[in-house]
Chains A and B, each alone.
Chain A
Amino acid sequence: MSDATAGATAAERADRRRTLLEEAVLPPLVALAIALVVGDLLILTFGQSPGAVFAMLLEGTWANAYGFGQVLYKATSLTFTGLAFAIGARAGLFNIGAESQLAAGGFAAAVAGLALGGAPAILAVPVCIAAAAVGGGAVGAVPGVLKARFGASEVIVTIMLNFVVLALLNYVIAAHLHVPETLHTPEIAAGVPRLADLSDAFRGSAANAILLLALAAAAAAWWYLFRTRPGFELRAVGLQPDAAEYGGVDVGRVWVRAMALSGAVAGLGGLNYVLGYKHYYEEGFAAGSGFLGVAVALVGRNHPLGIVIAALLFATLSQGGLAVNALVPKQMVEVLQAVVILAVVTSVPEVRRVLRAALRPAAKPAKAAA
């Protein structure tokens, strides 16, 4: 995925095509094929016809406006959390904390919205967006600092912080901010339009204008990672931290920056619920979308475009589970999501090995000629 250079030779281009095939295209396809087989088996254990179930899944998601709206809504959150994981991963860091970063972002947005009261939307919406980024970014920065300063594993720190941050937010809500008899804050005045406002067909679905923010975030992440100097440094640290350090990059600072940025993007994901859907912060609203972000980034091969596509795929599965629940338990899709992750993560090294082995006889004469 290096920048396209004008003077690339044919051999380099062929090389790049092969890398793209073995890194980006084949593993997700292999994974989907495996998931399809596992899905068939699960459906058969319930004595149903796989064809009928998968047809029902598609019908309940892409074939009607409500289902499609729900897919878009879920894909919005997953795009943010997928991008968040990818930004960390590109710097060689595993941010497993998107779940709490997203919650912290949503919480900060709700608090900002409450503080602003009835301020006009032109002021309130940007402030809430900024608050979400700062809230998530602050939670994300902590493991970055601990890694840079003390060498603490960001995997463990982000996992542990998930529990700490969620417990802290639950305490603040329960002790100070909840509406009696509920686990959520009062409603805020700020909000963005929902798709249902535009067309009656989407009535009831939660999709909203934060969708556009997610697409903008994907575009911005692509620009940052592949077209700016800090983004280049970030990727350099991810590929070869020692070499980057030798080349004059402050690796610790890049780690902190990458984790803060990753957390900020995850924090923006909280807006989908708080600013776009319910207009309040509620305990547990993240509902696993932080963890699924790992899957989305993995299947999207840590590339913003791939992440948007993978977010749609995983959102379709999530929503599709509800659609087929009458025939097979909706938990089938949770199993399939796990199978997809497992299959991608195992097939990346395996596809590379198999492909290299297959290409070796063909590659040898070429080398001799050169």
Chain B
Amino acid sequence: MIVVAFLAQVLRIVVPYLLAASGGVLSERAGIVALTLEGFMLTGAFTATLGSYYAGSPWVGLLAGIAGGVALALLLALATVRYKADQVVAGIALNLLAIGGTRFFLRYAFDSSSNSPRVPGFGGDGGGAVGAAATLAASAQNPLVWIGILTVPVVAWLLYRTPFGLRVRAAGEKPEAARSLGVPVARVRVLAVAGAGALAGLAGTYLALDQHQFTDGMTAGRGFIALAAVIFGRWDPKRVAFACVLFAAAETFQIQLQGAQLIPSQFVEMIPYVLTIVALAGVVGRSAAPAALGKAE
């Protein structure tokens, strides 16, 4: 039973990581640094809450969440692809914009500086089951969980088995060569970033609808954990998904051991970040990142 409880909890935590990190893979493989996953998620969480609140339907919330993530992503694409702004600085600016913007419009829409009212979400009550079984049942009824799981093979297929994926990888490795072969590098990058915005927006949607409300800063660094997973998973969708599961398992471990005080929670919190630094320093080596990552065309 404790294993089921553990797995149910891992599943619940891993979904937003899978969504956001898959988006991160798409963006980084096209050569655009995915520092803004956090901002996409936060914006998506907020717009999903708005959609779900005003329409009274989580499905509208889901579409609004995608739209919010894509909107911020297009702003990033405008700055970095059209105006060739530095990707790192633009990414930081957009994260700040997401934090400030969601707070501002939280006051505007709900006259609160901390949270929205309760909004409809997905998932039933677990059909009378209790404990871990209820958590699992609720997850199974949540379409976002299935979307999150399916995203991994879909992004892998897109990246490795379609002409678009080939163009994405070309734009991220050798943009000049790609352009000389007629690949519209700018358009490919914009599409890849928009895809990242949509997926990370869905990740935020999952968080907001799972809590049935938006709370200020509710993504709490999950976008950066997703970025860590992208790097730790060496920019490959399946390895990245594995990294997400690993990080989610560590987090679950911490939650379940909270009473036991075996390891201070702060040390468990560090795991994704420390692993990523170690990976960057040793395992990954110099050549693993897309060659044109962070560079204007």
A residues with a Cβ closer than 8 A to B are 42, 45-46, 94, 96, 146, 149-153, 155-157, 159-161, 163-164, 167-168, 170-171, 174-175, 291, 294-295, 298, 329, 331-339, 341-342, 345-350
Contact = CB atoms under 8 A, between A and B. Distances in A.
Nearest to B221: A163
Contact of A160 (B83, B276, B286): B276
Contacts of A342: 75, 79, 85, 90, 93-94, 97
Interface stretch (B174-182, B184-192, B240-248, B266-274): B266-274
Which of A151, A170, A350 has the most chain B CB atoms closer than 10 A to its own CB? A151
A122 B196 CA distance: 55
Interface in B255-297: 264, 266-267, 269-270, 273-274, 276-277, 280-282, 285-286, 289, 294
B93 A345 contact: yes
Contact of B270 (A151, A167, A350): A167
A331 B103 contact: yes
A107 to B, nearest CB: 14
B54 interface: no
Contact of A345 (B89, B108, B267): B89
Contact of B266 (A149, A157, A174, A341): A174
Contact of B113 (A153, A295, A329, A341): A329
A334 B104 contact: yes
Interface in B43-94: 75, 78-79, 83-86, 88-90, 92-94
Contacts of A156: 227, 231, 276, 280
Contacts of A150: 280-282, 285-286
B33 interface: yes
Contacts of A346: 78-79, 83, 85, 90
Contacts of B280: 146, 150, 152-153, 156-157
Given A155-B88, A349-B83, A291 B104 contact: no
B277 A338 contact: no
Contacts of B103: 329, 331, 334
Majority SS of interface residues in chain B?
A: helix
B96 interface: yes
A163 B97 CA distance: 20
B206 interface: no
Given A329-B113, A337-B100, A338-B97, A157 B277 contact: yes
B104 A332 contact: yes
Contacts of B78: 346
B123 interface: no
A289 B170 CA distance: 38
B90 A46 contact: no
B266 A171 contact: yes
B35 interface: yes
Nearest to A343: B93
B228 interface: yes
Contacts of A160: 224, 228, 273-274, 276-277
24 contacts: A96-B88, A151-B286, A156-B227, A157-B277, A160-B224, A163-B269, A163-B270, A164-B270, A164-B277, A167-B270, A170-B266, A174-B264, A329-B104, A329-B113, A332-B100, A335-B100, A335-B101, A338-B100, A342-B90, A345-B79, A345-B89, A345-B90, A345-B93, A346-B78
B107 interface: yes
Nearest to A297: B89
Interface residues of B, number: 46
Given A163-B221, A331-B104, A332-B104, A338 B93 contact: yes
Contacts of A151: 285-286
Interface in B205-225: 221, 224
Contacts of A350: 83
Nearest to A294: B92
Given A294-B92, A350-B83, 15 more contacts: A46-B108, A149-B281, A151-B286, A156-B276, A163-B270, A164-B270, A168-B270, A171-B264, A334-B96, A334-B103, A338-B96, A339-B97, A341-B96, A342-B75, A346-B78
B221 A161 contact: no
A345 B78 CA distance: 12
A345 B224 CA distance: 22
B99 interface: yes
A127 to B, nearest CB: 28
B85 A349 contact: yes
Which of B88, B96, B289 has the most chain A CB atoms closer than 10 A to its own CB? B96
Nearest to A152: B280
Which of B35, B84, B92, B270 has the most chain A CB atoms closer than 10 A to its own CB? B92
B266 A168 contact: yes
Contacts of B266: 167-168, 170-171, 174
A335 B289 CA distance: 32
A349 B93 CA distance: 17
A88 B105 CA distance: 35
